[in-house]
Copies of this chain bind each other. A is one copy, B any other.
C-alpha cells in the first residue's frame, strides 16, 4: 500500500525528496487505522517509512489527543464499530486467504467506478482495499463495509435502507430491496456462505438471500468473492445462479474440479496466492 507519495514532484527538478512532516505522518497513521481497523507497530513503521521508535512517539501523541487506542504491538481506533475484538483476534483469524482475495478483487475496481458491495467478512476486507481509490461510488447494505469507507472523503458511500440484521451487520427486508430497484452500476462484489458449480451462491437466510439477489440485479457484472472453505458447500437458499457469475475471486486452496466446472460455464477465475 502506501499509495505512493502524496505530493508529487511536479516541479523543483533535482530537489531532494521532501521530508515528511510529522503531522503528515500522523494523519497517515490515522488513515491506516481507519482503513484496517487494527495495525501493528511494525506495519505502521513500514508504511510510513520511519523507524518504529518514531511511530511509537506518534502513537503516544495521538493517544494523548484521544484519537487512537494503543495496544501491545500496535494500535486501533477508539470505539469504532465492532472492530472491538481487535488485535489478537484479528491476527488469529488467519485471514490470509481473505486478505489475498480482497487484494485481487480490489484490482478489478477502477477509479471512477460505481459498484455494489454485499455483506461478509471477505467483502469487508475488500472494502478496506478500496480506500486508495478515488471518485468511487459504492452502494452497500453492509454497515461494516460502509464503516470501512467512512473515512475516505473521495468515495461516495450509499447505504440501502432496511432492517438491521444484527448478526451480520447488514440491512435486509423489502426496504433494502426496494432501494436497489432503480439502480444500475458496473459491478457487484458479493459473497455468500456456500458456492457450488450447480447451484451457485447460497446462504442460510431467506431475507439475506433476497437482498443478495437485488444487489446482483443492480449490476452489469457480478464478481463473487469466496475463499476455499466455502467452495463445494451448499446452504439453504440459492441467491445467485452460476449463469449470473462473471468473475470468481478465490484462493489457491479451492478444489480444482469445481473451478474447472465454473470455468467451463464461462466464469472468469482469479486465484489469489496467499
Q: How far is the CB of A20 from the nearest CB of chain B, in Å? A: 9
Q: A7-B39, A88-B67 are in contact. Are A81 and B27 (CB under 8 A)?
A: yes
Indicate if A256 sits at the interface (CB-CB under 8 A). Answer: no
CB distance from A159 to the nearest CB of B (A): 6
Question: Which of A142-150, A246-254, A260-268 lies at the interface?
Answer: A142-150
> Which residues on B sit within 8 Å (CB–CB) of A65?
83, 89
Given A12-B47, A81-B21, the answer on whether A158 and B143 have CB atoms closer than 8 Å is: no
Q: Specify how many copies of this chain sit in the oligomer.
A: 2
Q: Which of A72-80, A109-117, A195-203, A218-226 touches B?
A: A72-80
* Bound form: Cα–Cα A81–B16 in Å: 22
Q: A217 contacts the other chain (Cβ, under 8 Å)?
A: no
> What residues of chain B lie closer than 8 Å to A169, measured between beta carbons?
147, 150
- CB of A162 closer than 8 Å to a CB of B: yes
Q: Which of A15, A30, A78, A166 has the most CB of B within 10 A?
A: A166
- By the criterion CB–CB under 8 Å, are A7 and B21 in contact? no
Assuming A47-B11, A143-B143, is B67 touching A83 (CB within 8 A)? Answer: yes
| 8 Å CB interface, A216-274 against B | none
Could you jot down 22 A-B contacts, CB within 8 Å?
A7-B39, A10-B36, A16-B42, A19-B40, A21-B71, A21-B72, A21-B74, A23-B69, A30-B85, A67-B83, A67-B89, A85-B151, A150-B169, A156-B163, A157-B163, A157-B164, A157-B166, A158-B163, A158-B164, A159-B164, A161-B162, A161-B175
A binding-site residues for B, Cβ under 8 Å: 6-8, 10-12, 15-16, 18-19, 21-24, 27, 30, 35-40, 42-43, 46-47, 65-67, 69, 71-74, 76-79, 81-83, 85, 88-89, 91-92, 143, 146-147, 149-153, 156-164, 166, 169, 171, 175, 179
